Amino acid sequence: MAFNPNAVFISPSSLGDFEKCPQLYYYRSVFRSPRGLKIQIINPSLAIGACVHDTLEQFLKLSPADRLRSELFRIFEWNWKSFSGEKGGFTLKDEEELARQKASAMLERFFGNKHFLVTEAVKIPGFPKVELGNDLILTGKLDWIEKEQDTYHVIDFKTGKNEEREDSQQLPIYSLLVARLLNTDKIKTSYWYLDKDEDIRPFPSADIEETFKTIKQKGEILKLVRQTNSYRCQSGNEFCWACKDMHEVAHGKGKLVNVDPVNRKQEIYILVEEDKPVPTEEKQETISFADDLPF
């Protein structure tokens, strides 16, 4: 796919952010720091999810013969180092240890399901992109695709407590991606809630054409929002429940704890509590771009 400077990328996460609050969408998808990187906030729940997903992604790239429990947990222990302490939003050692145990339990549950230890995944690009027309590009991060006879099965691994609603657009968007990438309309979808379930749960298959129409329409709205800088919080206040934390970081109340310049291309912050001001020697780790907002 040729580079398009006018491209507007659409994903389940960016659409979800926009539907919660346009200002949240701006902070997460549009803004770049002076170093050209996105900004992101980390907390213990996000650290657990990111570490488990990173571990499974690396583990499932191995051939079935090499998918051993020892290798799974070797990868996990290595990845956890990137989320230890402040890098994972942890302030107490006991808090971090409980989170590490929770992540480990999810991986034990995963390893207990032998299906994923012997099944080969369908190969697609790590950053799949599908053109929807009019500078709109659909993308997403798919956890697992396998082929069952003439049907493709898309499975998403969930690490949080909340279950996806029936009107969730995540798996329908993934279905549309797979349909376009693999030229098929035979797709089924499932979630696996690793925090509590021993196996996957089927999710109703999407109507590919209806999904295309819905996502294309939402994409056109996103494009207009970007063209007109219409990112103001719709609450009528400076921020709402959805964009509050990112707003705080934007106004210099975040502490830089990690940088991922290669994979996710982002700077990662934790919020600084109001009664715990950032020490003078750490001031350079905070940012404030409030005066430069385009809206």
Mean pLDDT (whole number) for 225-250: 95
- Radius of gyration from C-alpha coordinates of the chain: 20
What pairs with residue 157 in β-bridges? 192
Other Cβ atoms within 10 Å of 197 Cβ, number: 14
Q: Using the predicted structure, report yes or no on whether residue 74 has a pLDDT greater than 60.
A: yes
pLDDT of residue 188: 97
pTM of the model: 0.90
For 106-118, write each residue's pLDDT tens digit: 999 999 999 999 9
What pLDDT does 6 receive? 86
List, in sequence order, the alpha helices (H) in the chain: 12-20, 22-25, 44-59, 69-80, 93-111, 115-118, 170-182, 208-228, 244-250
Task: Report yes or no: 78 and 54 within 8 Å, Cβ to Cβ.
Answer: no
Lowest-confidence pick of 84-93, 216-225, 284-293: 284-293
Quote the pLDDT of residue 292: 61
Dump pLDDT digits (tens) for 272-285.
876 555 554 444 45
User: Could you please report the per-residue DSSP string of 17-71?
Assistant: HHHH-HHHHIIIII---TTS-EEEE--HHHHHHHHHHHHHHHHTTS-GGG--HHH
